[in-house]
Structures are given as C-alpha cells and as structure tokens.
C-alpha cells in the first residue's frame, strides 16, 4: 500500500516523465522479500526499478538515487533498532529523506487507497538488478570524500578493529579501507556474518557501549589504535580510540562529529578551497561547538531540526553554497554531498584518516 501510494504521488509530481526508483534493503528478516514486493508494485505501475540483488548500506541507496538520476529511493530497514522491527524509508530525487509537506502528502495519498487499488502484477522488464558498477562508484565516492593525502606508511601503521554488528557494512567498509590503503584491519569475525537476529549483542546500536564489547576485547588483544562499529544499515558509527595513557576510550556523537568536521575544515583550508561561501551542517540537539568551528574558519554553520533530512534540505535549498560536512549527536556524519544522509561508510574512512595522521605525528586522535 505504501508503494502504490508513492507510485501515485510520483506520477502526480513528475507528470509525463519516465519515472525511476532505486531500492535497497538491509539484513533484517524478510527485508529481501519485502524489497521484491516493493519492486513488483512499482513496476506494475510502469515505473523503472533499480534493485540491489543483495543487502546494501543505507547511504549507498542515497548515493544511488542521485547517481542513477532516480526520482525516489526506498530502503527496507529498521536501522539500529532491535531485531523484531523493520521499516520503509523513502528518499526523494536529491538523495535526501522526505521533509514536510511531502511526507504528509504521501501519507494522505496512502491512507486514501483501498487495497483493491494496489497493482501487484510485476513487469519484470522494468526491474533491473544493480550491484558491482554502483558499488564501485560508491566506493570511489567514499574515498574521494573521506581520504586526504595520508602517507602510505601512516595508513599501514594504523591498527584498526572493525565490526559490522551483523549488518550491511561488511559488504563495503572492508573494501573501502583496503582500496584507500588501510591494510592493518582486524574484523570481529563473530559479528561479520549478516544476521537479522543480531545474536551477539543486546542491541545492534553503536551508540551503546555494550555493542562494542567484542570489538574492544579484540582491540586489547591485538593492540589496536582504533575501534569502529557500525549499525545494521551502516548509517551511524561508534568509535573508540587510545588516549595519551594508551587506554581505549569511547567517543560520543558530538565528539566524533567535531573531530571529523575540524579535520575536514583544516584539509579544505590547506587545499585553498575555502572561499567563505561554504557551510557545515548540524542540528538543534547537537553541540554548539559546530558554530564555533564555522566562525574560526570563516564559513557558515547551518543548524536544522533533528534528523539528517534537514541537513540534506539545506544542501538542496542553498545550491550556491558548497557543503563541506556535518552531523548530529546521534553518531552520524556526512562528508561532502554525494550522500544526503548519515554515512558510516565514508565516515569510517574519514576517522581512520584522522587517527592515522595523528599517530604519525606522535599524537592521539
């Protein structure tokens, strides 16, 4: 019913256009089955569908909407929530999640539908499975936005522990790190297999310290410099690093956001890319330190309501200004505007860049 309503709304919003949508799904129970149902209904309505044939991170879907010039995108996911949940997340043609009044208008369209109005007869000619080519483009984008001239020796010297917490990031994060030059990566094997039951954690939420217990233990065993864990749909990340006493400490979302934003601003400054028309993004629930950073670097910090959809709206509403990066206290971050939602894939690489350069300079992250 959601998909039929969205199909009707798309036709109303883009009259006469050849409509295209992208669909992704996570590791949760029946996500793959539900994604195929969504694809069938879209195709039955004459809409071209790009469907991932296996689970993928949510930020890759946001990227794909823009990359394939789609009108909308869907992810079947319940993000970091417990295993009994699933969800239906909608993106618009800019790659950002829906904001008012569109969200309310679509809900009204859905609620007005009768079930006998839903078209289930799939047109398989309109369903195209996507994988490798889009993956490669997304990986290249992550490296372009998250990598900043770190010497190869510094990358090789950084000891990383990574856990996907049974989620989708295992599909891409190891490849991104390897392609970017990070070869000293230990993966928590017990949590590397995608599993919608998330059997090794109470909650697959990297905001909660307990979720990183196994990764922290592996880090102590291997002497790792940094621990990174992502939630099931790979849009938020938890981070632990060594302090100056060599102890592993967990960063909260505000700390990681400020560290990554400051690093981006400093790199842009070194490259001579700051002209004063750029901006960073944050939300009302996050630290005011973002405003201080913007002031120091002579740019603007735009502050929106809670949720990354509002940062995505900033990018869309102010095309004359270049978005550098931004985030929220909820352990999410965006680097560049290729992805219009929180992106743990690119952020994982970015925090490794910061850690590698800090270690090479004799400092802690």
- According to the model, what pLDDT value does residue 103 have? 96
**Mean pLDDT value of segment 237-260:** 97
Q: How many of the other CB atoms lie within 10 Å of CB of 362?
A: 6
- Is 197 a member of any domain? no
Residue 271 lies in a domain: no
Give the pLDDT band (50/70/90) at residue 165.
very high
The catalytic residue positions are 79
Which domain CATH number covers 54? 3.40.120.10
Q: How many CB atoms lie within 10 A of CB 30?
A: 12
Question: Looking at the domain assignment, is residue 178 inside a domain?
Answer: no
Domain assignment present for residue 242? The answer is: no
pTM: 0.97
* Of 241, 187, 237, 193, residue with least CA distance to 215: 187
pLDDT band at 247 (very low <50, low <70, confident <90, very high): very high
Residue 126 confidence (pLDDT):
99
Query: How many structural domains are present in the chain?
Result: 1
Which residues are registered as beta bridge partners of 333?
A: 327
Amino acid 97: pLDDT:
98
Question: What band does 314 get if pLDDT is binned at 50, 70 and 90?
Answer: very high
Other C-beta atoms lying within 10 Å of the C-beta of residue 212: 26
Among 302, 256, 253, 259, CA closest to 282 = 302
Predicted confidence at residue 96, as pLDDT, reads 98
Of 47, 20, 45, 22, residue with least CA distance to 35: 22
Per-residue pLDDT of 34-60, as tens digits, reads 999 999 999 999 999 999 999 999 999
Query: Residue 155 falls within a domain, yes or no?
Result: no
Asked, for residue 120, whether it belongs to a domain, the answer is: yes
Task: Write the pLDDT tens digit of every residue in 202-239.
Answer: 999 999 999 999 999 999 999 999 999 999 999 999 99
pLDDT tier, 271 (very low <50, low <70, confident <90, very high otherwise):
very high
Q: What is the DSSP string of 183-218?
A: --EEE-GGGTS--TT-TT-S---TTSGGGGHHHHHH
Cβ-contact 163, 214 below 8 angstroms: yes
What is the arrangement of strands in the sheet containing 72-76, beginning at the earlier edge strand? 88-92, 72-76, 20-25, 48-52, 127-130
What is the reported pLDDT for 119?
Answer: 98
The reported pLDDT for the residue numbered 109 is 98
86 found inside a domain: yes
Which stretch of DSSP H or E encloses residue 138? helix 132-146
Domain span at residue 27? 2-130
State residue 133's pLDDT score.
Answer: 95
**Side by side, which strands form the sheet with 279-283?**
300-304, 279-283, 323-328, 332-335
Decide if 287 contacts 333 (C-beta within 8 A). Answer: no
Express each pLDDT in 55-100 by its tens digit. 999 999 999 999 999 999 999 999 988 899 999 999 999 999 999 9
What band does 279 get if pLDDT is binned at 50, 70 and 90?
very high
Note whether residue 64 is domain-resident.
yes
Q: What is the pLDDT of residue 125?
A: 99
The stretch 234-259 carries a mean pLDDT of: 97
What is the pLDDT, as a whole number, of residue 102? 96
Mean confidence (pLDDT) of the chain: 98
Question: Strands 226-230 and 237-242, how do they pair?
Answer: antiparallel
Q: Count Cβ neighbours within 10 Å for each residue of 319-335 and write b for 16 or more, e otherwise.
A: eebbbbbbbbbbbbbbb
Mean pLDDT of 137-161: 98
Q: Identify the band that residue 170 occupies on the pLDDT scale cut at 50, 70 and 90.
A: very high
Write down the pLDDT at residue 252.
Answer: 98
């Amino acid at each position: 019913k959601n998909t039929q309503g969205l199909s009707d709304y798309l036709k109303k919003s883009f009259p006469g256009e050849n409509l295209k949508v992208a669909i992704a799904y996570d590791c949760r129970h029946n996500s793959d089955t539900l994604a195929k149902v969504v694809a069938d209904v879209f195709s039955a309505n004459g809409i071209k569908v790009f469907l991932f044939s296996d689970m993928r991170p949510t930020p890759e879907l946001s990227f794909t909407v823009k990359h394939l010039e789609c009108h909308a995108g869907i992810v079947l996911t319940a993000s970091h929530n417990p295993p009994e949940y699933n969800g239906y997340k909608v993106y618009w043609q800019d790659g950002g999640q829906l904001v008012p009044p569109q969200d309310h208008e679509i809900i009204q369209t859905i609620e007005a539908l009768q079930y006998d109005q839903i078209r289930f007869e799939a047109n398989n000619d309109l369903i195209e499975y996507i994988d490798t080519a889009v993956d490669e483009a997304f990986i290249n984008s992550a490296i372009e936005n998250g990598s900043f001239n770190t010497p190869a020796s510094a990358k090789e010297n950084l000891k990383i522990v990574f856990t996907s917490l049974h989620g989708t990031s295992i599909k891409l994060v190891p490849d991104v790190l390897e392609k970017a030059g990070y070869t000293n990566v230990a993966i928590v094997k017990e949590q590397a297999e995608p599993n919608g039951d998330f059997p090794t954690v109470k909650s697959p939420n990297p905001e909660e310290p307990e979720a990183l217990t196994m990764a922290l233990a592996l880090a102590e065993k291997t002497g790792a410099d940094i621990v990174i864990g992502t939630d099931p749909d790979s849009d938020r990340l938890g981070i632990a690093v060594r302090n100056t006493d060599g102890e592993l400490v967990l960063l909260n979302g505000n700390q990681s956001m400020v560290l990554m934003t400051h690093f981006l601003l400093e790199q842009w400054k070194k490259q001579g890319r700051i002209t004063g028309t750029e901006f960073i993004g944050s939300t009302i629930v996050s630290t005011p330190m973002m405003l201080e950073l913007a002031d120091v670097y002579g740019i603007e910090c735009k502050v929106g309501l809670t949720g990354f959809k509002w940062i995505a709206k900033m990018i869309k509403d102010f095309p004359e200004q270049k978005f550098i990066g931004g985030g929220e206290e909820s352990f999410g971050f965006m680097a560049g505007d290729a992805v219009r939602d929180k992106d743990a894939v690119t952020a994982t690489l970015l925090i490794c860049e910061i850690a590698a350069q800090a270690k090479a300079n004799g400092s802690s992250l």
